[in-house]
């Protein structure tokens, strides 16, 4: 299975969730009984082969150290939780299977929290009907006498590249901007755009095989329009900053892969608010924005498209060889 979701948004969500556990909270009663605070994270992605939902709990226990609680799986997970997804367009209800994320290729980062087991809830995409624009509801039953947790989202649809189209020429020569345009989707609130640059390098004095290097270039994040312009000069500046000047190496620009990740309204709100509260001018506490009926987290939708069949202009190769920023990188 490929991780096709917006990587940046996923990492940000996890970081923000961790901050909930360790940040100051003036509203917490330090002498109150043990508190059970549900934390839910799920992005439905039509372009992926399976859907995963993470359901955990934060904890406040005046009788135990938070560091000790973090190492106890019973303090992190609900033992009898049932997670379901309901297609509001068809009224079909799907029950997810509890799996160990470490065995699914999603190991939990090492740190203060217990890493085994790493419980998540899974359903294969081909086992459910999930069309663009369909409304979906998540329903979480934690067992015992807890109330159900719910949230709703709409399924983000596909976008198509308008410029540059597959098979068209990409030209970074000259001045001005590199322009991208894609179709809009009514269920999408924002787009992240990335260009992967594939470069081969080799030592002509040896018989060693060529080494392929992939340089990711994040062109834009949280874009709300279906278009983007970036300075062509940034392309050469990026290569100059990432590649070492080495007279013994020769290089070639092989290809590009352009990826557009799209996200729903709930994810956009989550990312936007948390980004506004990071950095030197931020407030001390990260806001706990959520669309869950109880606790914290985000339930939304995302999608991803990639295109890699492009033709690189001869003028781009010339600029790499003789341009001020890249002339010492030995592009051939």
Q: For 237-280, what is each residue's pLDDT tens digit? A: 999 999 999 999 999 999 999 999 999 999 998 887 766 555 55
Greater confidence (143 vs 29) lies with 143
Q: For 51-70, what is each residue's pLDDT tens digit? A: 999 998 876 545 444 444 44
Range scoring the smallest mean pLDDT among 7-11, 30-34, 316-320: 7-11
SS3 for the chain, per residue?
Answer: CCCCCCHHHHHHHHHHHHHHHHCCCCCCCCCCCCEEEEEEEEEEECCCCEEEEEEEEEEECCCCCHHHHHCCHHHHCCCCCEEEEEECCCCEEEECEEEEHHHHCCCCCCCCCCCCCCEEEEEEHHHCCCCCCCEEEEEEECCCCCCCEEEEEECCCCCCEEECCCCCEECCCCCCEEEEEECCCCCCCEEEEEEEEEEEEECCCCCCCCEEEEEEEEEEEEECCCEEEEEHHHHHHHHHHHCCCCCCCEEEEEEEEEEEEEECHHHHHHHHHHHCCCCCCCCCCCCCCECCCCCEEEEEEEEEEEECCCEECHHHHHHHHHCCCCHHHCEC
Residue range 9-18: mean pLDDT, rounded: 39
Q: For 109-140, what is each residue's pLDDT tens digit? A: 654 444 558 889 999 999 999 999 999 999 99
Share of the chain above pLDDT 90, in %: 65
Q: Domain segments of the chain: what residues?
A: 7-156+263-301, 161-262+307-329
How much is the pLDDT for 154? 96
- Check whether 328 has a pLDDT greater than 90: yes
How much is the pLDDT for 18? 43
How much is the pLDDT for 14? 41
* Cα–Cα nearest to 292, from 269, 259, 320: 269
Residue range 31-43: mean pLDDT, rounded: 73
How much is the pLDDT for 40? 93
How much is the pLDDT for 98? 95
Greater confidence (79 vs 168) lies with 168
Q: Binning pLDDT at 50, 70 and 90, where does residue 205 land? A: very high
Residue range 12-32: mean pLDDT, rounded: 40
- Check whether 145 has a pLDDT greater than 90: no
Crossing angle of the two packed helices 265-275 and 7-22, in degrees rounded to 10: 60
Q: For 288-310, what is each residue's pLDDT tens digit? A: 678 999 998 999 999 999 999 99
How much is the pLDDT for 292? 94
Q: Which pairing describes strands 177-182 and 161-163: parallel, antiparallel, or unpaired?
A: antiparallel
């Amino acid at each position: 299975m490929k991780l096709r979701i917006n990587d940046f948004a996923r990492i940000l969500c996890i970081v923000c969730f961790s901050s909930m556990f360790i940040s100051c909270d003036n509203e917490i009663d330090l002498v109150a009984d043990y508190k059970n605070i549900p934390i839910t994270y799920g992005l439905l992605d039509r372009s992926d082969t399976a859907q995963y939902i993470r359901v955990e709990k934060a904890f406040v226990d005046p009788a135990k150290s938070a560091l000790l609680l973090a190492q106890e799986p019973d303090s992190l997970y609900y033992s009898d939780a049932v997670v379901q997804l309901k297609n509001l367009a068809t009224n079909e209800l799907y029950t997810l299977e509890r799996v160990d994320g470490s065995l699914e290729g999603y190991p939990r980062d090492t740190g203060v929290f217990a890493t085994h087991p790493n419980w998540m809830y899974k359903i294969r995409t081909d086992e459910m009907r999930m069309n663009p624009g369909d409304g979906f509801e998540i329903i979480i039953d934690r067992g015992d006498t807890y109330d159900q947790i719910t949230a709703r989202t709409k399924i983000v649809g596909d976008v198509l590249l308008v410029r540059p189209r597959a098979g068209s020429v990409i030209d970074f020569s000259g001045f001005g901007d590199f322009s991208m345009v894609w179709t809009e989707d009514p269920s999408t609130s924002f787009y992240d755009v990335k260009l992967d640059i594939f470069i081969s390098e080799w030592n002509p004095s040896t018989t060693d095989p060529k080494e392929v290097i992939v340089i990711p270039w994040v062109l834009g994040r949280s874009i709300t329009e279906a278009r983007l312009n970036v300075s062509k000069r940034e392309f050469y500046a990026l290569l100059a900053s990432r590649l070492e000047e080495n007279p013994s190496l020769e290089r070639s620009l092989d290809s590009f892969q352009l990826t557009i990740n799209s996200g729903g309204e709930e994810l956009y709100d989550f990312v936007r608010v948390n980004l506004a509260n990071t950095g030197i001018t931020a407030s001390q506490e990260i806001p706990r924005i959520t669309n869950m009926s109880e606790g914290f987290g985000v339930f939304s939708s995302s999608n991803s498209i990639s295109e890699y069949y492009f033709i690189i202009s001869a003028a781009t190769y010339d600029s790499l060889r003789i341009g001020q920023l890249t002339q010492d990188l030995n592009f051939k």
